[in-house]
Amino acid sequence: MASARSAHSALLDTLHRLAETDGPPGREGGVRRGVLAEVKPDSLRAQVSPLGSLYLERRSMRGGCVMLAAHLDEVGLIVSHVDRYGVAWLHPAGELRAAECSSAGLRFPRGAQALLGCASTSSQAEEPPRLLADFGAMFPAPTVRTGSMGVFATPWQVERGLVRGKALDSRVGVALALNAARRTRKAAHSLVLALTTLGQVGQRAARAAAAELAPDWILTLGVLALKDRREPEATLAHSGKGPAIVVRAPRFVADARLTDTLVETAARARLPHQVVVTSVNPTGAEELQAAQGGIPTATVLVPATGVGTPLQSVDTRDLEAALELIVRVVERPLLPRR
Q: What is the pLDDT of residues 175-188, one digit of tens each?
A: 999 999 999 988 88
pLDDT-derived band of residue 152, with 50, 70 and 90 as boundaries? very high
pLDDT at position 7: 80
Is the pLDDT at 277 greater than 60? The verdict is yes
pLDDT at position 41: 78
pLDDT-derived band of residue 141, with 50, 70 and 90 as boundaries? low
What stretch(es) of the chain map to CATH 2.40.30.40? 76-152
Tell me the average pLDDT across 275-280.
91
Is the pLDDT at 119 greater than 80? The verdict is yes
Other beta carbons within 10 Å of 95: 13
DSSP string, 85-152: TSEEEEEEES---GGGTTT-EEE-GGG-EEEEEEE--SS-TTSPPEEEEE-TTTS-GGGS-TT-EEEE
What stretch(es) of the chain map to CATH 3.40.630.10? 2-74+166-331
CATH number for 2-74+166-331 (one of 2.60.120.260, 1.10.10.10, 3.40.630.10, 3.40.50.300): it is: 3.40.630.10
Assess contact for 189 and 334: CB atoms under 8 A: yes
Assess contact for 297 and 254: CB atoms under 8 A: yes
pLDDT at position 280: 85
Which residue type is seen at 328?
Answer: R
Tell me the average pLDDT across 139-162.
88
Assess contact for 66 and 219: CB atoms under 8 A: yes
Assess contact for 298 and 219: CB atoms under 8 A: yes
Nearest Cα residue to 52 out of 75, 25, 34, 74: 25
Domain at 76-152: CATH code: 2.40.30.40
The one-character DSSP state at 22 is -
The one-character DSSP state at 128 is P
Is the pLDDT at 268 greater than 80? The verdict is yes
Is the pLDDT at 295 greater than 80? The verdict is yes
Q: Which range among 3-12, 303-312, 313-322 shows the weakest confidence by mean pLDDT? A: 3-12
Distance CA(8)–CA(324), nearest Å, equals 10
pLDDT at position 234: 47
Is the pLDDT at 241 greater than 70? The verdict is yes
Assess contact for 116 and 133: CB atoms under 8 A: yes
SS3 content of the chain, % helix, strand, coil (to 5): 30, 30, 40
Percent of the chain residues past pLDDT 90, beyond the cut: 74
Q: Cβ-count burial of 229 within 10 angstroms (0-12 exposed, 13-18 middle, 19+ buried)?
A: exposed
Tell me the average pLDDT across 65-83.
96
Average pLDDT of the residues of the chain: 91
